[in-house]
Amino acid sequence: MTISATRVNHLATMADEVYVWAETKGWEPEPRRTFGDEIALLHSECSEALEAYRDWGFADRTQGSTDKPEGVGSEFADILIRLLHYAKVHDIDLQYEYDRKMSYNHTRPYRHGGRTL
């Protein structure tokens, strides 16, 4: 697999959208937030996905008068939103990095690293 220079960068478009949303909600610019804070916030979304799985499995739990999305899928979306946000803040092209990493991953042997989990 090779990286295509002509591939449409949908992740960059999504990152732009997330950043504009963050600006309109007062989350940007935020000079006090550190990279450590960002990693912790990403981790908190992962933990929320685990808790949603523990409570409901993979079921969509959106219900009630607010229709707030609930469940693993919603938490995965939160992870993606935060990741896109911070990639934009730090000028990281996730599409390029994804393509580059997947290209490398295709060269790895079956179950590389010898771990069971």
What CATH number does the domain containing 67 carry? 1.10.287
Query: For residue 81, is it within any domain?
Result: yes
For residue 76, tell me if it sits in a domain.
yes
Q: Is residue 112 part of a domain?
A: no
Q: Say what the alpha-carbon torsion angle 49, 53, 56, 57 is, to the nearest 10 degrees.
A: 130
- Cα–Cα distance between 50 and 115 in angstroms, integer? 22
Which residue range forms the structural domain that includes residue 71? 10-25+33-101
CA distance 49 to 57: 10
pTM above threshold 0.85: yes
Q: What average pLDDT does the chain have?
A: 93
Give tens-digit pLDDT for 65-106: 678 999 999 999 999 999 999 999 999 999 999 999 999 999
Count of structural domains within the chain: 1
pLDDT of residue 5: 57
The answer to whether the beta carbons of residues 9 and 99 sit under 8 Å apart is no
Domain annotation covers residue 69: yes
Residues 8-33: tens digit of each pLDDT: 889 999 999 999 999 999 999 999 99
